[in-house]
Structure 1
Amino acid sequence: MSTAVADCPQGWCTGGACDGARLDSLLTPDARWLWEQLAARADKSGEPSMTGGTTMITAPAESGQRAAVLGLVGSRILLAGERRRIRLEELTLRLRQHGAHLTPGAVAAHAAGRALGSTAAERARQSARTATLRKLRARLTGALPDHARLRPSDEAWEELHRTGRVARILQHPAPEQLLKAAAEVLRLLPPQGRIDRRMLAFKAAGDPHSLDAGTDLAGLVLAEAAAAGLTAAGTPPRTAWGCLGVDLDRLGGGLLSLGVHPDGWLVPSRFPLVLPRATLAEVSWPAPPHADGWVFVTENPSVTTAAIELNPAIPVRLLCTVGTPSAAELDALARLADSGWNIAVRADFDASGIQHMRAALRVVPTAHPWRMNADDYVRSLHPDPFQPTPLDTERLPETGWDPAVHTAMRARGRPAYEEALLDDLLDDIRRGHPHPHPRPNP
């Protein structure tokens, strides 16, 4: 009659491997390094007993620690830092002198104070979970209508995996619902025309804010667009949504206008006016009164506020993007240039400001960088800033209009702001052209 093997009282080892074993002589402080290495190996392999095969161990520097395991890993002396391959079957036989059912994994589990194999088990669970979610996504995307604006492919899942989006899906408290909501957003995207983001969010998920910036749902939809090649890496969210036919607050944002207004509009002098994106998409601009007519474009409303106080007899023509310019705003600037106006554009000397300049000069290649050279940057630096903000030089875009700007900003490592040059900017606005006065565009 066989004798039943008791389970481990702590639940750390399997099959009652520790039943009746004498562990004290094995679990000494000097021998602990061996069991820690074996525990790490068991976690990765998913084999909690470790009774077969081989494994590598690395000997510690302390001679007493090496001597403590010589009878277990062989009689040859271990050298400090030596890597030695040991046969787990032989180690198991030596351990059986301390317990009839003892295994290397059981001793390592008691040394670690936990059950082993957790890493491999968790990896297996994650793999199975990922496969299940991939099948669900394939089924949901396969059910999208033929006219869908975006139909994610199964191959694009690998791109989502590479960029870390799949990991974020797995971390979501309800990943299946997240995938279903994303599929509903894709189903509701207009094949042609436009839709308001809040309305789309409400129709797809019952919450007008479910597609706001930073939400998991918005991140997944935009990641699908990027994986499908509809948007490029690093595309600003507003632009990316625009590529999907989704508008973000068409009546918000836009250009803050002072002295330059759409054709046919009658606006009192020095009356600041916000031209929302919906308006900008439809208006036309008047031609300049003469060939050397300039419109100044700035990033910060503080410049507009100061320009309001200029002599009313001075014709001020100023547009402010109030931060990052949208595609609609840049298109409006391009049409302004097409109407015959010379465009002088500037922004803050920071990563986003340089990106604004690059976008504006790409869409309006005839625009003139307005006080945006290296000397202007150096003059804009505050002499004694309180808790100065460091410049993220690794993400600083190139400054094609003047490479010296990029060099100077990387060297100084600090951002600089439009307000520092306010007096100079107002002088240019008074004169009606940027300094130095460039030759008008042909």
Structure 2
Amino acid sequence: MSTAPADCSRGWCPDGACHGARLDSLLTPEARWLWEQLAARADKRGERSMTGGTTVITAPEGAGQRAAVLGLIGTRILAPGERCRIRLEELTLRLRRHGARLTPGAVAAHAVGRPLGSAVAERARQTARAGGLRLLRARLGAALPGQAPVRPSDEGWEELHHTGRVARILQHPAPEELLRRGAEVLRLLPVRGCVDRRVLAHRVTGDPHGLDAGSDLAGLVLAEAALAGVTAPGMPLRAAWSRLRVALDALSGGLLSVGVHPKGWTLPARHPCILPPYTLAEATWPGPDREEDSWVFVTENPSITAAALALPANVPVRLLCTAGTVSAVEVDALARLADSGWRIAVRADFDAAGLALVRTVLAAVPQAEAWHMTADYYTASLHPSPFEPVALAPDRLGDTPWDPSLAASMRACGQAAYEEGLIDELLTDLHEGRPSAGAPAHGHPRANRRL
């Protein structure tokens, strides 16, 4: 182990305490544990010299390590793991035999190779910078126009701190600029009409993706909106931006549709098409011609839609696919579809996201039904010998009020199952135009035994 020079030119020692000192006998590998523990105390409390008071040390396992500091701490040989309180004044006097100005902090700084008290100093710097950011945010908020829908107030700073947003701001490479760009977004929020989020992001940052989900700028703007009461914490992103009159991409996503089209549309039979959010937000739906043909099926996976296209051409398939998590626009469109007289049957994968999708649709469309989303169908859809089974996190599943035994079965088994495992049953229902009743027609015996 190399030792630091006795005349330290790196600023490690407080007040040049190492000048002219003999450190070699103190900075041995065996004694390093003592200086590391003292350095940790100095970092925590900001005491760079440590010449007064007491501290507690914990003896290491090695007998040679414990013996190496016996002459410094002035006590008997300690047992492994024993805690011992030492007086720093006495330790300082013993160190002065090696250097007239030596202190425990000076030797510890040489041992660890850096200035001590870094944690306290860093906290002080962060506190000072946070105070400056708070003042900057207040000035930027005061400069916003009178009609601005969101205006940061000084009172909201503590709430931003409580939610961790201030820490996120401080971690940003340019926190002051982040606040300025956030204020510019708030200044450009429309009072009437709407603005595309990508256009707004480009105006403020030069990057159309500057306000994408997960960005620090988007998080800051939405946090300010929630503080101002314009949005609510936990609100879906599309709904939150909509409250700010900012439109997310209205042409991507939406519902994959077969046989379900807005009023006035004419399409070739069995022609799949995407109904984007823009269309879904404005769509009005024709009602069913006959009550017995009034079912619309809602699924999560495009593979079910692809399989449905292979059904006989004379089968009037009516299927909507969310292709993943359902959005607020899509749920609202399903609710209006139900209000037009259609009966909704909804299903998804047997995992946390799938259960959440079904809960969301059933909450928004009370007359909808869960389609083959029971414990029996879960068991039937389990693969008998999955190569890399996806484990379920029990605390993330939530409840299944349409069939309480489903959540219990999923927690007991602990494995996800997918819509593709029920492809035959689903296609049969699509062919018949209505959900079948009763238990599944088949299942995987090995999967059944798991439960």
- Unpaired runs of at least 5, structure 2: 1-5, 439-451
Instruction: Return the letter of the residue paired with 1:37.
Output: Q
- Unpaired runs of at least 5, structure 1: 1-5, 438-442
Instruction: Return the letter of the residue paired with 1:397.
Output: G
> Could you say which residue in structure 2 is the equivalent of 1:115?
115
Shift, 1:45, TM fit = 1.7
- Secondary structure in structure 1 of the residue aligned to 2:56: strand
Aligned-residue CA RMSD (Å)? 2.3
> Could you say which residue in structure 2 is the equivalent of 1:427?
428
> Could you say which residue in structure 1 is the equivalent of 2:154?
154
Counterpart CA distance in 2 for 1:163 and 1:45 is 27
Instruction: Return the letter of the residue paired with 1:381.
Output: L
Instruction: Return the letter of the residue paired with 1:376.
Output: Y
> Could you say which residue in structure 2 is the equivalent of 1:59?
59
- Secondary structure in structure 2 of the residue aligned to 1:343: strand
> Could you say which residue in structure 2 is the equivalent of 1:93?
93
1:8·1:14 contact (CA, 8 Å) conserved in 2? no
Counterpart CA distance in 2 for 1:194 and 1:32 is 65
Shift, 1:232, TM fit = 4.6
Shift, 1:63, TM fit = 4.4
Q: Which moved more, 1:341-350 or 1:282-291?
A: 282-291
> Could you say which residue in structure 1 is the equivalent of 2:131?
131
2:7·2:20 contact (CA, 8 Å) conserved in 1? no
Q: Normalising to structure 1: TM-score of the pair? A: 0.90
Asked if 1:220 is matched to 2:220, the reply is yes
Alignment of 1:16-95 (within 5 A): 16-75=16-75, 78-95=78-95
Counterpart CA distance in 1 for 2:401 and 2:52 is 63
Instruction: Return the letter of the residue paired with 1:134.
Output: R
> Could you say which residue in structure 2 is the equivalent of 1:440?
none
2:236·2:328 contact (CA, 8 Å) conserved in 1? no
> Could you say which residue in structure 2 is the equivalent of 1:388?
389
Alignment of 1:23-422 (within 5 A): 23-75=23-75, 78-228=78-228, 230-292=230-292, 293-422=294-423
Percentage of matched positions with identical amino acids: 68
2:48·2:105 contact (CA, 8 Å) conserved in 1? yes
- Secondary structure in structure 1 of the residue aligned to 2:282: coil
Deviations 1:104-144 (A, max 9, x none): 11111122122212222222112212221122122212222
Shift, 1:156, TM fit = 3.2
Q: Which moved more, 1:134-143 or 1:56-65?
A: 56-65
Deviations 1:33-67 (A, max 9, x none): 22111111111122211122322222334444334
* Closer/same/farther in 2, CA of residues 430 and 254 from structure 1, 3 Å limit: same
Counterpart CA distance in 2 for 1:219 and 1:246 is 14
Instruction: Return the letter of the residue paired with 1:180.
Output: R
- Secondary structure in structure 2 of the residue aligned to 1:182: helix
1:428·1:434 contact (CA, 8 Å) conserved in 2? yes
Deviations 1:241-297 (A, max 9, x none): 233322211122222221122223222221222222222222221122233411111
2:54·2:87 contact (CA, 8 Å) conserved in 1? yes
Q: Which moved more, 1:31-40 or 1:66-75?
A: 66-75
Instruction: Return the letter of the residue paired with 2:247.
Output: D
1:140·1:180 contact (CA, 8 Å) conserved in 2? yes
* Closer/same/farther in 2, CA of residues 204 and 322 from structure 1, 3 Å limit: same
Instruction: Return the letter of the residue paired with 2:51.
Output: T
1:296·1:345 contact (CA, 8 Å) conserved in 2? yes
Instruction: Return the letter of the residue paired with 1:336.
Output: L
Counterpart CA distance in 2 for 1:275 and 1:29 is 71
1:8·1:15 contact (CA, 8 Å) conserved in 2? no
